[in-house]
Chains A and B, each alone.
Chain A
Amino acid sequence: MKRTPEDLLDICLEMARRGEDWRVFLLTYPSHSAVVESLMALALDVEKTAGPPDAPAPGASAALLRMGEELARRERKREETAHRGWGRMWGSAWAKAAFAGIVMLLLGASSVELSARTVPGNFLYPVKILTERVRFALTADPEERVELRLTFSERRFAEVVKTLQEGHGADRQLVSAMLDEAKAALTGTAKLPESRSTAYKARIASLEGIQRDRLRSMEGTVPADRRKDVVEAIRMCDDGWARMRETMCGPQTRGSGHGPGRGMDGRRMGPRNDWCW
């Protein structure tokens, strides 16, 4: 089959990509092999020089903060439409300074309760989420990264509770985000020494029971018309943890699959080895 040098170059690039020996293939096209081989060498050299395309790049944190600022501005604008009075203030230098202060506060905040005040729907919520990402990106120590993931997971749960208390129903996205953070924390324990890893795994495993206890205790305190939302949140958490166990441990999870604390049937579970990890 007659092939042009352009075709041959492309075929060789794809073969190289698949780890195949493109040089042997090129031998069958001696009239074009020299030019294609020299371009292949250059292409591979460019690849090697450029390095991995997904390697960390400078400015990622700044981009996240800019997005957070922009999201907050939009959210604020939306609120302005409803409450005209606030609008004039936001454009002022004072407001910009206040925004910077809030970002600094959120970057440094470690209290779950403080952060739980900012929930979805609040104009500062996107700032909080993006600030968390920045804080995580700036943290290099593996143990601190696991600790942060756990903190974020606890924050998402606190937000679930807050939205239930305020009568906004059970937020599926928040539950999902809470579990994602817990899963990321668990994944991060692989980089820790055995003793620290074990301690964090036990802590992660205990979250399920703690959360269920917290939601169950809410059942009796919220107005009757909101009780179904709490039950729904419990169901969503149970499903989420069960899915996470299945993902992390496979379908043959040891024991009943419930972490320490109380299982779905309400009985107190054993130590952390009820989980596969």
Chain B
Amino acid sequence: MMSVFHGDKGRCVDEKIPPPVVEAGRNGDAGALATICENLYPRIYRYLSYKVDDLRDAEDLAGEVFVRMLEAIPGQTGNLEAWLFRIAGNVLTDHYRRRAVRSDTVGLPEEIAGGEDPAVATERKLTGERLKQGLRGLTEEQREVVILRFILGYGHGEVAEIMGRSAGAIRALQFRALSALKVALGERT
């Protein structure tokens, strides 16, 4: 099987937004802030779209991430992208709180929890919706690592920075996460 990893996978975050732009953004330059938003919005949105049920919520929450960014960016240091994902995590926490739904207790969708015939499930093509449903069968950390590592394509170093874990821990977590996803999708291990 040919690799389908995207061309920019594992790239250094700083390559995406040039440091002078980040610096101008910290100083409140509207053009720089717009550039940051334009470049990073798709990833933040995609991240959130796998975390919430309603895609309209994902849009709202992604917008909220960038509004919160304005508040905190003057004092921001270090990796901007990892920092934005941490804001996204906080926005999500507030969203869950508002909805009184704890993300780590989301039940398995009926289709998967109901014990679909693994052979049938394996043959079915993996679709975005099925992937999303499969992710619900994972713990919060496992879901996080799958989204960041395989859906958004970050290297394990970047994922470690975003999640505040060591690279070794991420390696172990991604193994467990993929194994759990395989089970959640009804595939034989």
* Interface residue ranges, A against B (CB under 8 Å): 5-7, 9-10, 13-14, 16-17, 19, 35, 38-39, 41-50, 52-60, 62-64, 66-68, 70-71, 74, 125-126, 129-130, 133, 137, 173, 177
Are B63 and A62 closer than 8 Å at their CB atoms? Answer: yes
Are B34 and A133 closer than 8 Å at their CB atoms? Answer: yes
Q: Once bound together, how far apart are the Cα atoms of A45 and B5, in whole Å? A: 10
1/0 per residue B159-178: CB within 8 Å of A?
Answer: 00000000000011011001
Interface residue from A5, A50, A57, A74 paired with B131 (Cβ < 8 Å): A50
Q: Please, which residues of chain A bring their CB within 8 A of the CB of B42?
A: 53-57, 60
Interface residue from B70, B171, B189 paired with A6 (Cβ < 8 Å): B171
Are A10 and B156 closer than 8 Å at their CB atoms? Answer: yes
7 nearest A-B pairs in the assembled complex, by CB-CB distance: A59-B59, A126-B30, A57-B45, A129-B30, A63-B63, A50-B151, A16-B3
Q: With A129-B34, A133-B38 in contact, is A46–B150 under 8 Å at CB?
A: yes
Q: Once bound together, how far apart are the Cα atoms of A66 and B31, in whole Å? A: 14
Q: Once bound together, how far apart are the Cα atoms of A86 and B131, in whole Å? A: 52
Q: With A59-B62, A60-B37 in contact, is A43–B178 under 8 Å at CB?
A: yes
Given contacts A49-B126, A59-B62, 6 further A-B contacts (CB under 8 A): A46-B131, A47-B151, A48-B4, A49-B128, A53-B152, A129-B31
Q: Does B146 have its Cβ within 8 Å of any Cβ on chain A?
A: yes
Are B30 and A130 closer than 8 Å at their CB atoms? Answer: yes
- Shortest Cβ distance from residue B116 to the other chain A in the assembled complex, whole angstroms: 17
Are B38 and A67 closer than 8 Å at their CB atoms? Answer: no
Q: Once bound together, how far apart are the Cα atoms of A64 and B38, in whole Å? A: 8
Q: With A54-B42, A67-B33, A70-B67 in contact, is A10–B146 under 8 Å at CB?
A: no
Q: Please, which residues of chain B bring their CB within 8 A of the CB of A54?
A: 8, 39, 42-43
Q: With A39-B175, A39-B182, A74-B70 in contact, is A46–B151 under 8 Å at CB?
A: yes
Q: With A46-B146, A50-B46, A53-B42 in contact, is A67–B175 under 8 Å at CB?
A: no
